[in-house]
Chain A
């Protein structure tokens, strides 16, 4: 079992290590990583948006994917969940292709990617997180609604369960999306810009939620846009600008050299290396 030879992360489940899957002598699909992306290249009508990206996110970390606009951050997540077919490369979740690990992954799309005028309630949106477990044709029942309501309570939104979703503020909508991910009880949470356009309370609620997930041994990989908060909210960082610039613990990666490599020489760096100053 080549997998045993490599260091086990804190949140590793023993069953995974002994599953007999050949990890390969080159360590290609290493179960030691919650998310392992290998030589990933993706294009939109001929233009490369991701070029030969290798990413290794260990289990149990709060990982941020950071980079300028058009760096391919969202595309990376889309390639992971199979919403976009990469031109080359592979993605492994806990050592296996994504389609065999769907039940262990919760995905939170960008809030603005859906139509909030859709005729449905907050509770119903959260229940959608359980559709994967239900499978084709089976309708959600009372039990699913109860679970969804509990998840809404976790984000402080249970009082809004029967609200039509367009009547929620941006921060409340984001919390509904997070509740939908929580109800899946996954091991890996993929979030696309979870902090985009939310109020201060929601921002803090999300941070608490992320820390709670980490405390329970879960792994979070979030696309993040705010350089100032990266170092305080996350403990693991991947800098991306079509190519992967650097990855690793945030204390090692969050340096002026790496940030300039990702954002260009003209990036204004405030308080890099320590905490971001008040703006």
Chain B
């Protein structure tokens, strides 16, 4: 036990573990957002959860209660719902609708902080960039161990997301690929979609202290996109996304230590490096596509109609 505690007491271990857990939790859900072409919803949600956190703070007077998770999830769903309402008006396209909704909610949240919570540690820099470097300072007791609070939070969220994706894999796949068939078979794709986005919101709150909104968005979008360039199977895309996320956390931390730069920034850059690699050498990357273009095309399947066939 003391060995494990000694290991956990090293700031670097905690930082890498928190980064890896945020990355895995985010990219598991992100794979579906990317395939649904809704990845920028994660950007919107990661900002607008702030209003849920602020309102929960104003109600409870504390910064870390279960109500924060609920408030943030509701704020995330409010964002998605408002976006839907605007899109359904058919006068606002979805990208514009996202851009209309979350700055408004974020701005209201910032004003509420200014007016009612001036003396609280809820400053906007921390919201956007987080400070993963301090993750190890805030510890809680778990049995015999002293563990960083964000490590515990992110471990729980990661397990919840993993369970969600494993148990609802078939439902998520169907709702993402063919919402009409999902509806016809009675699978409520709308409900599945809202559940997914509620978990994105909860994950965003968990990631909030640790890594901030920007690194969160990077973890939601970049690892699944890199994996999508490499594979043709959904489950491999999920696994590879997690591998890229963990690799980015380790590589990013090493980068930050080596060059004495922001840890969060280095981790986000590391996801970008993986994406670049996938873009170049992936199955659907630039090199593969160029080779396909140069290689003689496989003979097309030509169906010769028999005499008297349809026009």
B-contact 0/1 string along A195-226, CB 8 Å cutoff? 00001111110000000000000000000000
Q: Does A115 lie at the interface of the complex (its beta carbon under 8 Å from any beta carbon of B)?
A: yes
CB-contact partner of B184 in A105, A115, A229, under 8 A: A105
Q: Name which of A20-28, A132-140, A146-154, A255-263 contacts chain B.
A: A132-140
With an 8 A cutoff between CB atoms, is A5 at the interface? no
Q: Select which of A114, A171, A203 is within 8 A of B310 by beta carbon.
A: A203
B185 adjacent to A200 (CB under 8 Å)? no
- Would you call A169 and B183 a contact (CB within 8 A)? no
Question: Pick the contact of A139 from B169, B174, B180 — CB < 8 Å?
Answer: B169
Complex: chain B residue closest to A192, CB-CB: B180
In the complex, the chain A residue whose C-beta lies closest to that of B176 is: A118
B180–A109 contact, CB under 8 A? yes
Interface residues as binary, A45-70 with B (CB distance below 8 Å gives 1, 0 otherwise): 10000000000000000000000000
A20 to chain B, nearest CB (A): 24
In contact, B310 and A128 (Cβ under 8 angstroms): no
Residue from A107, A115, A120, A171 within 8 A of B181 (CB atoms): A107
What residues of B have a CB within 8 angstroms of the CB of A83 in the complex? 179-180, 183-184
> Measured between alpha carbons, how far is A114 from B37 in the docked complex, in Å?
12
Inter-chain contact B234/A82, CB cutoff 8 Å: no
CB distance from B177 to the nearest CB of A (A): 5
Map CB proximity to A onto B117-141 as digits: 1 under 8 Å, 0 otherwise. 0000000000000000000000000
Pick the contact of B185: A45, A102, A125, A202 (CB < 8 A): A102
Chain B residue, CB-CB nearest to A102: B186
Q: A residues within 8 A CB of B228?
A: 119
Is B303 a contact of A45 with CB atoms below 8 Å?
Answer: no
A221 CB to closest chain B CB (Å) equals: 13
Please list the 9 inter-chain residue pairs (A to B) with the smallest Cβ-Cβ separation, ordered nearest first: A201-B303, A132-B185, A107-B184, A164-B232, A81-B184, A109-B180, A83-B183, A200-B305, A119-B234
Measured between beta carbons, the chain A residues less than 8 angstroms from B186 are 99, 102, 132
Interchain CB contact under 8 A, A114 and B170: no
Q: Does B90 contact A (CB under 8 A)?
A: yes
Q: Does residue B142 face the partner (Cβ distance < 8 Å to A)?
A: no
**CB–CB B35/A118 < 8 A:** yes
A to B CB contacts below 8 Å, 29 in the list: A45-B88, A78-B180, A81-B184, A83-B180, A83-B183, A83-B184, A102-B184, A102-B185, A102-B186, A109-B180, A109-B181, A115-B35, A115-B37, A119-B35, A119-B233, A119-B237, A121-B233, A125-B177, A128-B173, A128-B178, A132-B184, A138-B170, A164-B232, A171-B303, A172-B301, A180-B181, A200-B309, A201-B303, A201-B305
Please, how many angstroms separate the alpha-carbon atoms of A277 and B309 in the complex? Answer: 13
Q: Which residue of A lies closest to B36 (CB)?
A: A115
Report if A200-B180 is in contact (Cβ < 8 Å); known contacts: A120-B173, A131-B187, A137-B167: no
Report the minimum CB–CB distance from B126 to chain A (whole Å).
37
Give the A-binding residues of B (Cβ under 8 A): 35, 37, 88-90, 167-171, 173-174, 176-181, 183-187, 228, 231-234, 236-237, 301, 303, 305, 309-311
The interface residues of chain A lying within 8 Å CB-to-CB of B184 are 81-83, 102, 105, 107, 132
Contacts of A203 in B (CB 8 A): 310
In Å, the complex CA distance between A254 and B169 comes to: 47
Q: What's the least CB distance linking B176 to chain A, in Å?
A: 7
Give Cα A235–Cα B187 distance, bound, in whole angstroms.
Answer: 33
User: Nearest chain B CB to A87's CB is how many angstroms away?
Assistant: 15
Residues of chain A within 8 A (CB-CB) of B88 are 45
Assess the B180–A113 pair: CB atoms within 8 A: yes
Known contacts A118-B35, A132-B187, A172-B301; can you find 6 more A-B pairs with CB under 8 A? Answer: A81-B180, A114-B177, A115-B177, A128-B174, A131-B187, A200-B309
Identify which of B88, B89, B168, B174 gathers the most chain A CB atoms within 10 Å of its CB: B174
Closest to A171 in B: B303
Known contacts A118-B177, A200-B305, A131 near B185 by CB under 8 Å: yes
**B301 engages A169 (CB within 8 Å):** yes
Q: A118-B35, A164-B232 are in contact. Are A199 and B303 (CB under 8 A)?
A: yes
Whether A45 and B237, one on each chain, are in contact in the complex, defined by CB atoms closer than 8 angstroms, is no
Of all chain A residues, the one with the shortest Cβ separation from B185 is A132
Query: Which residue of B is nearest A110, CB measured?
Result: B180
Beta-carbon contact of B233 and A81 below 8 Å: no
**A137–B233 Cα gap in the complex (Å)?**
20
Give A276's nearest chain B residue, CB to CB: B311
Indicate if the CB atoms of B174 and A131 lie closer than 8 Å.
yes
Tell me the bound Cα distance from A204 to B304 in angstroms. 12
* With known contacts A114-B178, A128-B174, A131-B174, A45–B90 Cβ distance under 8 A: yes
* Central interface residue in B168, B176, B180, B311, by most chain A CB within 10 Å: B180
Task: Decide if A19 is an interface residue (CB 8 Å cutoff).
Answer: no
Bound complex: CA of A120 vs CA of B35, how far in Å? Answer: 12
Interface residues of A in 53-106 (CB under 8 A from B): 78, 81-83, 99, 102, 105
Tell me the complex Cα distance, A120–B187, Å: 19
